[in-house]
Amino acid sequence: MKIAFLFPGQGAQVPGMCKDIYDSYSEARDVYDKASKILNKDIAKLCFDSKAEELNKTSNTQIAILVSSLAICNVLKKYNIKPDICAGLSLGEYTALIESGYLSFEDGLKLVQKRGQIMQECNSSEYMMAAVIGLDSKIIEDELSKIDGFVVPANYNYSMQTVISGTKDAVELASNILKEKGAKRVIPLNTSGPFHTSMLNDASLKLKEELKKIDFKMGKTLVLKNLDGTEYKENDDFIDILSKHMVSPVRMDRIIKKLNDGNIELYVEVGPGKALGGFVKKENRNAQVISVENIEALNKLLELVKE
């Protein structure tokens, strides 16, 4: 069975996420414990006991989702469930790189912690993001180009859902225009930074300095890039790719197309939330998808791979 692992990004977090897996498996607890020692921060407490306001801080969110996803991966290894290819949305790409061996566990944790802190500094009530549903991305691009203000596509989630990002006034104006053009819904997102846009150029440069400290290597499993949906290759400049990643749109649509074209038999979303599995199903109604964020879903997966 050809398996793809998909790793969630910021926005999937919820207090108490994945706690039943933590309680049930020492393999999961080991990952939280190791992460807590490396970062000198109680990650289990952050994930399970924090109020939403605390967990939703970018500096906390990213490391919490990363560790939760990697903990579930460690449980899946116990049952010899391994991916043939990995991908993730934004932050999730780092999870994929760590899980696949391109980044060491310790380096990856420290890098994501730093990334979260850098992006936290970019939070501002001046900016907002919104998901545009039911409208082709080409129409969205065309309409945004006409608006006098800063608003651009930030996430191409699938062919008929695009997240836009920019100044609050410009995003609100764009939202009204895109509804008139046929968007089924435009949903403001609970974010306060112009993520994946040129407004984070300074943050990208700060991250680049951190990336220069990291020893990257080719991993054991293929990983797809957010930048363009292609695979990481041995001669790739990881520092350049991951610094551009912060200011470039996430092309999850291209990743999903690449996976669909690659005859994936089972998509396993690893970590909190079900958004990525939903994106896959929108593009391929017949895809076999399971989102492993709790014991119930884990048990369903175990039954599935036995068949």
Predicted confidence (pLDDT) per residue in 111-162, tens digit? 999 999 999 888 777 899 999 999 999 999 999 999 999 999 999 999 999 9
Confidence of residue 177 (pLDDT cuts 50, 70, 90): very high
Q: Is 272 exposed, middle or buried (0-12, 13-18, 19+ CB in 10 A)?
A: buried
Is the CB of residue 218 less than 8 Å from the CB of residue 194?
no
Confidence of residue 271 (pLDDT cuts 50, 70, 90): very high
Among 40-54, 93-107, 178-192, name the one with the lowest average pLDDT.
178-192
Is the CB of residue 81 less than 8 Å from the CB of residue 301?
yes
- Residue 125 is predicted with a pLDDT of 78
> Is pLDDT of 182 > 70?
yes
> Is pLDDT of 272 > 70?
yes
- % the chain with pLDDT above 90: 91
> Is pLDDT of 192 > 90?
no
> Is pLDDT of 307 > 90?
no
Residue ranges covered by each domain of the chain: 3-122+198-306, 127-188
CA 215 to CA 15: how far, in whole Å?
33
CATH superfamily of 3-122+198-306: Malonyl-Coenzyme A Acyl Carrier Protein, domain 2 (3.40.366.10)
> Is pLDDT of 306 > 90?
no
pTM (2 d.p.): 0.96
Confidence of residue 60 (pLDDT cuts 50, 70, 90): very high
> Is pLDDT of 11 > 90?
no
- Residue 233 is predicted with a pLDDT of 95
- Residue 123 is predicted with a pLDDT of 75
- On average, the pLDDT of the chain sits at 95
155: how many CB neighbours lie within 10 A of its CB? 25
- Residue 122 is predicted with a pLDDT of 82
> Is pLDDT of 257 > 70?
yes
Catalytic site positions: 90, 196
The domain made up of 127-188 has a fold known as Alpha-Beta Plaits (3.30.70)
